[in-house]
Structure 1
Amino acid sequence: MKIRSARPSLVVLLVSIFLGLTSCVYFNTYYNAKKYYKDAVKENIDNESGQPKTQNYNKSINSAARVIEYYPDSKYVDDALLIMGKSYYAIRSYPKAKRKCEELIANYPNSELLYEARLFLGKTYIGMRRPDQGIAILNDLWLEGGVPMEIRLEGQRALADYYYENENYRQAFLEYHKILDKMKDNSLRADVRFQVGECHFKLKEYDLAEVEYARVMDEKPSRKRQFDARHKRALSLQKLGKLDAALKIVERLLKKDIYYTWYEFANLSKAGILADLGQYTEAIELYDRILELYPKSFTSAEATYRVGIIQWKQFNDYDKAKEYLDKVQSEKRQSEFFEPAAEIANNIQYLQNLNFSLDSLQLDVDTLSSHLVWLSEYQDTVLLDSVAFDSTITLSPDTLEQVSQMPTPSPELPEHLIERYGNPNLPSQGMPPQTQTGAPDQTGVTGEREIRLAPLPPDSIQVYKRLDEDYLALTEYRFRLAEHFWQRFENVDTAKVIFLDLVEDDTSPDVQARSLMSLYYIYKQTSPDSTGPDSLLYSIHDKFPDTGYDNWVRPKIGLQPLPEPVDTLVEAYLAAEELWLSEYRYVDAVAAFQDVIANWPDSDYAPKSQYVIAWLQERKLENVDAAMASYDSLISWYPQSQYVSIARKKIAPPPPDEPDSLEVLEDSTALEAAVVVLGDAPPGTGPPVMLNEEDDLLNYIHANHLYPLVASEAGIPGEAYLTFVIDVEGRPKDFRIMRENPEGFDFGLQAIEALIGMRFKPGYRDGEWIEAPMNQVVEFSP
């Protein structure tokens, strides 16, 4: 009896043990999923990299998935679904997060986790850039009865964060305030109060921001939040002009070892405050120290930019300013200061080029003037110059004999001329020097660069002709210099002095008129209530009647405008361009450009039109034979055009075949440039991107001779801003030139050629590649 009664007991015991072990296994699997998720959240609290740390989130997803797969009837399945949804949300895999939240809501309508699943579904919709659906869910959670308070608060916090990230700071401020007094967790309340301060700071309400940052310390902020609040309070005081108080807070932060991790930000702010206090030398020393301690960082990039600005604005040292601004890219190209630094550096380079051109012209004027002295003093007037000789004398034996008997110039020249220009009678010295090193001019921005002058004319007539050209060029370049100081550097005083001087210079009436117009705008900006600018309008009207300048002035002084002349050449070219760029009627565009050439064959628009015809035939109409013929015509008809170098490259014969004895590898360059091997599109949404680096683009421009010839030879940098479409296979199309700077060199057309040779990854949405627009600035630097 004892033996028989023992068997059922043993079976029951074994079954109990098995069920207990099974229960322990799936609980442990769920426990691991929950633990990995908590660890992931903890390690991402102070993560400022911009990308989540994903290892523990992925472990959490895998453990939760095992619970669902192996124990589908357990009570932890809804928990596992929520953990997966929250983890996918955290690593920004929004479509998967959405799917898991919806599975929980659909399959477990009575789950205690239902509200939290709806919360993360709303946050996921916002992450997927479907804010209307997300905001509706979060607002329902706030208004609906029975929703736990922590869910309601987290939903409103997510809503407030969404408004803040989308720069709707007023709405974000209201949402943060809605939950601030309802939060019991002091640490979370400290975070929200800090965000309230951030809203005020973004709205430039620095007095209110300073108060909110100070109140953060009344809560229980984390160490990082303590530093952030005190640091931003100092920046608010700096904006309010309370520099001593701001400096005290920053220096106090730098004395506390617990904030050592964030010293770089405090040092950066301290340097900025020192600069605002006028202690520029101390500020630069601290910025340079930051460069040593934190190289290749966003902090060092900003420090480099700030030093460049100080060197420019405070010390007027353009060379030093450009040196620092050029370094921003090497410090951290992704920095927000990269583009403004590059723009200012380009403006300084342009200023240096202008000054160099002015130096070159002035040197040419001085050299030509001295050459005139030499011609008048040491070349006998009986010796006819080359122009007069060729045009007026028919040589006869008697005439030749007379010429041979004429006295030659004395080899003895005044010492000051020999010292400066050399002795033309000595081959070793030759005529006045053709090169000279230019010294810095009054602006202090032109470093030593070799100036190369054109050969001196052989006679006075050509000397006077070149002097007239130089004087016209000098006035034009001086106008550009003044315009650059005014518009790019906001140096109105220097610009006014130059414009006023040009108004008195009669060399170029066009420059006179433009200078008066510029002075009018300057006075309107600086003295809007003054009647002084009106007198400039009447000066333009009186000095330049019945011109385009007069027509501009007339409505401002109560006169009827002049009848507008029609420039049929420009109209015809623009109409052809419209057919090409806006209507995409390439055949009609070719015909229209051909009409431009036929009607105005000697205009500047003719070679440009011929180049566009060839480009359209090659790129859009895919008629290679016609394109080659058009390139050949361009070379024949317009041999001096800047487009000829490109055309010659297009029609050049292919390189000779390699000998059979050598192994010839297939050239896949063109294929690689045009085709990108695409796998599955990632989840979420993303724009198209160029896979090449900016340096690759610039190298491609130079390697393929795409730098406009005139600009390249003059050392003129440029840029073109383009908008175009990247198709689903990563190919660019439908280009539009939005802006060229400077205009007139065809940087836009060459930029299109360069971008066609680049590699792109298309945009994507919800796991699929899509056709999407893209913008790109293409820079040209010598």
Structure 2
Amino acid sequence: MLLLEFVKQKIHFLVFFILLVSSCAYYNTFFNAEESYRLARKKQLSEKSGNKISAEVRKNYEKAIKKSWKVIDLYGDSSSYADDALFLIGKSHFNLGEYGKAERVLEQFLLKYVYSEFIPEARLWLARTYVNLDKDDKALEQLNILNEESISSKIAGESQFILGELYFKREEYPQAIQHFEKAIDLSSDPLLIGEAMFQAGEAYWILKKYEKAIDKFDRVSKLDIPVQREFEARMKSINAIIKLKDYREAERRLKKMHQQKRFENQFALIDTRLANIAEYEGNKEFAADSYYDVIKTYPRTEGAAMASFYLANLFENSFSMMDSAKAYYDNVRKQFGLADSVSAAEKHSKLLAEYLKIKNQIIKDRDDLNRLAIGDSALVDSVDVPEDKSTETEDDAEKTAMAKAIIETASKDELVQSTLTDKGKNTEKNTKTVKKKPAKKA
């Protein structure tokens, strides 16, 4: 009897232990999924907006998706964390830009977990997904459902932000600004407030209301937001100041940023913008030297790529040195393959390659004509046929005039190139020996 009682107690203990271990494993699996999502989101917010998703971010989102599905597969879709897991999967697909998958998962969530605490948030994420899929009517339907329910100010603020995004995408900027302003008033989340202010600033910029754009971007930079987003806001504000031609204020702000350690990774972009200001004010040789310094001081950076592009532009449009222009356009991708200017640089390089090919052929044809004129035996036929001007047609005369014009154009182009040789040396050759001191770092 005692033995039987002992065995029963042992069985009860083992069952309890198995349930405990199973429960811990269940919680740990979802906890790991949440942690992977958190790491991915944190890293994504620290990167430049609009950039391709980095390998690290993608890996963590995919890990969050995999572990969330594991929670559902192992413990069933009616377990306590099943709705959390499916919602996390939908958000992860959205942040990866996989909007079709996000749509399917979030629609499934709303159908399956009608009593979940995450229903209002899921509607927001689904509305945002519809906006990205150009399904505006469906997005508005989800937002209208939310507005008819009793929702928190947080959800209401996010709803207004999504409406702002929708109207911004439609290029209805005044309406977009109204919704962004409502989102700012309703929300207490610094990230959402910052994004709403940033987008309102973008809308004002497009409407050429630069003073209002500056105000919005300045307010963004004072919030508790990731450094990258703060930098973008400050640069947007400076760009608006430059549009107003207040170059001294723009220069003052850029130099102040250059003294702040947290912007160290963006010093190359800051120096490039300072060189832009010198170029706008007509000091093109100084600007060229400054661009070259950025390339040499901060190689393989986005700033070096931008500096290469602007230097190529100067060679092409101001110094008429097409060979140098092409070389620096080609250098853009070498410096930073993800730079915004890569595509434009490659188009310019291709056009210049065609130009240089035609120019070199014209020069060759001119030289051949000159050699013919002096009787070069390599070009003159062994049988000397006297010129008979009486048989020259109007077409022949027109071709002769065109040839002379081509020769004259090529000669002028060579003259421009030779007069700018010293400038080219100052910018290319002398850059190896004469360097202006790079701006002091913080």
Q: Fold match, TM over 0.5?
A: yes
Deviates more, 1:291-300 or 1:301-310: 291-300
Structure 1 residue 243 displacement after superposition = 1.0
Deviation at 1:179, TM superposition (A): 0.8
1:50 to 49, 52, 55: 52
CA contact (8 A) 2:221 2:231 kept: no
- Residue 84 of structure 1 and its aligned partner are, at CA, apart by 1.5
2:392 equivalent to 1:465 = yes
Match of 1:345?
Answer: 352
Letter in 2 for 1:220: D
User: How far, CA to CA, are the matches of 2:357 and 2:170 in structure 1?
Assistant: 37
* Distance in 2 (alpha carbons) for counterparts of 1:358 and 1:102: 70
Shift, 1:473, TM fit = 4.3
| Compared CA separation, residues 20 and 468, structure 1 to 2 (3 A) | closer
Aligned pairs (5 A) from 1:603-682: none
Amino acid in the other structure paired with 2:82: V
Which string of whole-angstrom CA distances, capped at 9 and with x for unpartnered residues, describes residues 256-301 of structure 1? Answer: 2221011121122111111112222221122112223444555434
Q: Which amino acid aligns with 1:459?
A: P
Cα shift at 1:475: 4.2
2:294 maps to 1:290: yes
Counterpart in the other structure of 2:196: 192
2:91 is equivalent to residue 148 of structure 1: no
Displacement of 1:112: 1.0
* Alignment partner of 1:87 is 2:92: yes
Q: Which AA in structure 2 matches 1:43? A: K
Letter in 2 for 1:282: F
Supply the AA of the counterpart residue of 2:344.
Answer: F
Distance 1:287 1:314, change over 3 A: same
Q: Is the 8 A contact 2:164 2:180 kept in 1?
A: yes
Q: Which residue of 2 aligns with 1:40?
A: 40
Q: CA deviation at 1:479?
A: 9.5
Is the 8 Å Cα contact of residues 457 and 463 (structure 1) preserved in structure 2? Answer: no
Q: Secondary structure at the match of 1:35?
A: helix
**TM-superposed deviation, 1:106:** 1.6
Aligned to 1:27: 27
Residue-by-residue CA offset, 1:77-97 (whole Å, 9 max, x unaligned): 111111122122222333432
> 1:239-278, aligned counterparts within 5 Å?
239-278=243-282
Q: CA deviation at 1:467?
A: 11
Is 1:113 paired with 2:118? yes
Amino acid at match of 2:30: Y
How far residue 455 of structure 1 moved from its aligned partner, in angstroms, is 8.3
With over 3 angstroms needed to count, the CA separation of the structure-2 counterparts of 1:255 and 1:474, relative to structure 1, is farther
Is this contact kept in 2: 1:287–1:303, CA < 8 A? yes
Q: What are the within-5 Å matches in structure 2 for residues 229-248 of structure 1?
A: 229-248=233-252
Partner of 1:300: 304
Q: Name the structure with the higher strand share.
A: 1
Give the 3-state SS of the residue equivalent to 1:75 in structure 2: coil
The answer to whether the 8 Å contact 1:88/1:96 transfers is yes
1:44 is paired with a residue whose SS is: helix
Give 1:113 shift. 1.4
Contact 2:268 2:303 in 1 (8 A): yes
Q: Which has the higher contact order (CA 8 A, sep 6+)?
A: 2
Where structure 1 has 5 or more consecutive residues not aligned to the other structure, the ranges are 369-420, 422-431, 436-451, 486-782
The 1-side partners of 2:366 and 2:299 are apart by 38
Report deviation, 1:4.
7.6
Q: Is the 8 A contact 2:154 2:188 kept in 1?
A: no
User: Is contact 1:326-1:345 (8 Å) kept?
Assistant: no
The CA deviation string for residues 90-132 of structure 1, in whole angstroms up to 9 with x for no partner, is 2233343233222322222111111222222223333444343
Letter in 1 for 2:315: Q
SS at match of 1:337: helix
* 1:251 alignment partner, SS class: helix
Change (3 A) 1:272 1:340: farther
Shift of 1:362: 7.3
Query: Of residues 131, 138, 142 in structure 2, which corresponds to 1:137?
Result: 142
Contact 1:358 1:474 in 2 (8 A): no
Cα 1:471–1:12, aligned 2, differ >3 Å: closer, same or farther?
Answer: closer
- The aligned runs of 1:690-769 (5 Å cut-off) are none
- Distance of aligned partners of 1:287 and 1:139 in 2 relative to their CA distance in 1, 3 Å threshold: farther
- Say which SS state the counterpart of residue 45 (structure 2) adopts: coil
1:176 to 165, 180, 188: 180
Q: CA deviation at 1:242?
A: 0.9
Mapped pair 1:61 → 2:65: yes
Corresponding residue SS for 1:248: helix
Between structure 1 and structure 2, the one with the greater Rg is 1
Local SS of the residue matching 1:460? coil
Counterpart Cα distance in 1 of 2:264 and 2:83: 43
Q: CA offset at residue 30 of structure 1?
A: 2.0
- What is the letter of the counterpart of residue 103 of structure 2? K
Q: For residue 337 of structure 1, what is the amino acid of its counterpart?
A: A
**Pairwise CA distance, 1:231:** 2.0
Quick one: which amino acid aligns to residue 111 of structure 1? S
Residue type of the partner of 1:276?
Answer: Y
Tell me by how many angstroms 1:222 deviates.
3.1
Shift in CA distance, 45/462, structure 1 to aligned 2, threshold 3 Å = same
8 Å CA contact retained: 1:351, 1:481: no
Structure 1 counterpart SS, 2:47: coil
Residue aligned with 1:181, SS:
helix
Q: State whether residues 268 and 299 of structure 1, in contact with CA within 8 Å, keep that contact through their aligned partners in structure 2.
A: yes
- For 2:390 and 2:294, the matched residues in 1 are separated by 56
Amino acid at match of 2:52: G
SS of equivalent to 2:46: coil
Give the alignment's Cα RMSD to 1 decimal: 3.8
Pick closer, same or farther for the CA change 1:348–1:177 going to 2, 3 Å: farther
* Secondary structure of residue in 1 paired with 2:293: helix
If the length of structure 1 is used for normalisation, what is the TM-score? 0.46
Shift of residue 459 of structure 1?
Answer: 0.4
Shift of 1:162: 5.1
* DSSP 3-state at the match of 1:184: coil
Q: After superposition, give the CA deviation of every residue in 1:203-232 in whole Å (9 maximum; x if it has no partner).
A: 333232222222224433332233222222
- Matched residue of 2:41: which SS? helix
Sequence identity percentage: 25
Deviation at 1:34? 1.8
Q: Distance in 1 between matches of 2:303 and 2:408?
A: 34
Cα 1:279–1:115 change in 2 (3 A) is: same
Q: Deviations over 1:2-23 (max 9, x none)?
A: 8887676655554444433332
Q: Give the Cα–Cα distance (whole angstroms) in 2 for the partners of residues 20 and 6 of structure 1.
A: 21
1:433 and 2:376 matched: yes
2: distance between equivalents of 1:294 and 1:464? Answer: 66
Distance 1:223 1:76, change over 3 A: same
**Higher mean C-alpha deviation, range 339-348 or range 212-221:** 339-348
